[in-house]
Chains A and B, each alone.
Chain A
Amino acid sequence: MHRTGELYGQYKTLDQQKETATLGMWIFLVTEILFFGGLFLTYTVNRHQFPTAFGVGGNMLDLNLGFANTIVLIASSFTMAMSVWSAQTSKKQFVTIFLILTLILGGVFLGVKVVEYKQKFDHHLIPGHSFDITYCSNNPSACGLSGKDLQDELKEIREGIEAEGGVTGLNAHAQLYFSLYFGMTGLHALHMIVGAGLLLWLILQARKGRFDANYNTPVENIGLYWHFVDIVWIFLFPLLYLINRHLA
């Protein structure tokens, strides 16, 4: 690990050194844009082909949890930005405080994701042998469905079966939706876990008082990564959770 604020031989100034590091981080993020872009493209093509099944799948998600998580992640981007500000203005103890807040919010996000995944498991929505999109409409009590929610669910499944020409077709294409749901949110969560590890390292460094107005490149660049992960979620949330909400 190099020392704080040390100027390397190939650079003229510390500013140039920092600018180079940040440019490198952006180039990495561009490859990440294209990496996630491939998944968004796969999603778009399949949704275009099976709009009904994707709508049925999307309405199986818990909108309240997804909404809460979006708020949590946006708040974590704010605290991350504030820790960069604290470093730039040499408020050393605030750097640590805001980094810890960011890590906590990231942890809350992942915790909620675990609850959601568990719920999908219980509702037979994991792609594979036991996948059954009609499970909740057939076992309403197991999914906590009653009254109007149940009526909406039954109506939607019935329309889905009609549009897809049978339960088999609906199940096949709803599985496609859930494969993409788990693939995309799983990859996003993996990025969050990596980000949490990076934050942990930053917190340890910040506690030693490493970051100030002269040297804060790691805070800035890990911040860029964290904001990127936030942007991915900004698109995942409407695309996965809000497809056909006006029907419910």
Chain B
Amino acid sequence: MSENSNHHVVSPWIYFTILCALLIGTVVTVLAAKIDLGRMNIVLALLIATIKMTLVILFFMHGKYSPKRTQLVIMAGFFWLAIMLGLTLTDYTTRHLDQPSRGATSPAVSIHRA
């Protein structure tokens, strides 16, 4: 498996196709940002950026042709990133749920705010 994978030479046409896709993605992300989509603006921007990143990793960085062990390391990197972002945001995005009880004198609430 690994013997062959290192000999894999990606064709310049694939590189060129990816280049075009990345350039189109950049134009689309700018055009999409100029339309008011409310909360979907950021979702769409991140979606396009993630697609562009995936193309770079799979083709420019040869992720698609790498040994499974290397692919596992790449996936592990994003898994840890997801833990860091995901778990931190479960905290920050739910803090406002404390707000209505701010005036109350319940000791449980004040512990939460500390």
Contacts and interface: CB of A to CB of B under 8 A. Distances in A.
Interface of A: 13, 15-16, 18-19, 22-23, 26-27, 29-30, 33-34, 37-38, 40-41, 44-45, 48-49, 63, 67, 70-71, 74-75, 77-78, 80-82, 85, 88-89, 220, 223-224, 227-228, 230-231, 234-235, 237-239, 242, 245-247
Interface of B: 2-3, 5-7, 9-12, 15-16, 18-19, 22-23, 26, 29-30, 33-37, 41, 45-46, 48-49, 52-53, 56-57, 59-62, 66-67, 69-70, 73-74, 76-78, 80-81, 84-85, 88-89, 92-93
Given A30-B73, A234-B49, A242 B81 contact: no
A120 B48 CA distance: 28
Contacts of B2: 15-16, 19
B74 A30 contact: yes
Given A33-B81, A227-B56, A245-B34, A45 B88 contact: yes
Contact of B60 (A16, A26, A67, A81): A81
Contacts, number: 136
A245 B33 contact: yes
A89 B11 CA distance: 10
A102 B58 CA distance: 20
Central interface residue in B6, B9, B11, by most chain A CB within 10 Å: B6
A231 B57 contact: yes
B35 A246 contact: yes
